[in-house]
Amino acid sequence: MALFNFRRDAAPAASSADLEAFLQGYSIEVMPRTAEKIEDFRAILPKGTRVYIAHIEGTPIEDMVATAKRIAGEGFDVMPHFPARIIKDKATLADWIARYQGEANVRQALLLAGGVTQPHGDFHASMQLLESGLFDGFDRLHVAGHPEGNKDIDKDGDTVIMQALAWKQDFANRSDAKFAIATQFCFEADPVIAWANKLSEAGISMPIHIGIAGPAKLQTLIKFAIACGVGPSLRVLQKRAMDVTKLLLPYEPTEVAGDLATHKAATPGFNIEQVHFFPLGGIKTNAQWVTDNGGAAGLPVTA
């Protein structure tokens, strides 16, 4: 696919100022079971950090809402996932929204199809969730993006994905909510830059919150990358796995974050607005990496 034949000359190492600016306002993703391991998010996250709460199939809504309530109570904006394919019907969706708003004052949501092959009920796509009207009045709504494609949606290209993003852009243009595209994680900058440029050329102007995997064991990242359908940039991990000197060292996202930071600093109007971290090696580990590499962008509330 031509999208992934894009190449740039080797990018210079990102300056500390560029990387700090790029990481400023980053978001991070948790699950109820991983959030339980953090005594106080204020000790590790900067003020105002948006915390996504991933809703994995089988997780009780009570656990999701309790996690949202706890993190919101510590002063952070929470953005729970609403995976269309695990929501039975409109009544269930309305109940979830009422619980989140009533107990945690949730005003933000990530709407996505979800990784379930067979829908549990009436919904199979995030567009149906938007059309339900139940998110009217939310301050911010994010939709999913896939810089390296999504074989569950488009097996031989990205036509359907691009059409869906165009539909969501049109919806966003008519909505009072702020919209953004939150993406799957990638390990290489070139495919991301090419994809972001393609969206701009297609008139899709929703800002992109680019997914980046936090520090983790190489084996862990390869497992998640294969399970999540990460494509061309997986070669970065595969190449690393072939280097015996690096095989046992933890992966850190320094190169991909640095390359994107350099490109953003040099390219006015580049439509990546923020970084969204998937803390596959642990929330504390990820937050510490930002603190070590992002200067003021990583300073926790209690610092």
Q: How many domains does the chain have?
A: 1
DSSP conformational letter for 216: B
pLDDT (0 to 100) of residue 216: 87
Secondary structure (H, E, C), 83-152: EHHHCCCHHHHHHHHHHHHHHHCCCEEEEECCCCCCCCCCCCCHHHHHHCCCCCCCCEEEEEECCCCCCC
pLDDT (0 to 100) of residue 9: 45
CATH number of the domain that residue 99 is part of: 3.20.20.220
In a domain, 267, yes or no: yes
In a domain, 224, yes or no: no
Q: Is the pLDDT of residue 18 over 90?
A: yes
Q: What is the pTM of this model?
A: 0.89
pLDDT (0 to 100) of residue 5: 33
pLDDT (0 to 100) of residue 142: 98
In a domain, 97, yes or no: yes
Closest CA relative to residue 112, chosen from 139, 146, 89, 61: 146
The length of the chain in residues reads 303
- The Cα 148–Cα 224 span in angstroms is 15
In a domain, 53, yes or no: yes
Model confidence at 2, in pLDDT bands (50, 70, 90)? very low
In a domain, 7, yes or no: no
pLDDT (0 to 100) of residue 244: 44
In a domain, 107, yes or no: yes
Find out whether 186 and 3 touch, Cβ atoms under 8 Å: no
Helix (H) or strand (E) holding 250, with range, is none
Range of the domain at 193: 15-215+251-293
Find out whether 133 and 106 touch, Cβ atoms under 8 Å: no
In a domain, 111, yes or no: yes
Rounded to 5 degrees, φ, ψ at 133 are 80, -5
In a domain, 89, yes or no: yes
pLDDT digits (tens, 9 = 90+) for 71-127: 999 999 999 999 999 999 999 999 999 999 999 999 999 999 987 889 999 999 999
Token digits of residue 63: 């656990």
Q: Is the pLDDT of residue 48 over 90?
A: yes
Give me the mean pLDDT over the 211-228 stretch.
Answer: 75
Model confidence at 4, in pLDDT bands (50, 70, 90)? very low
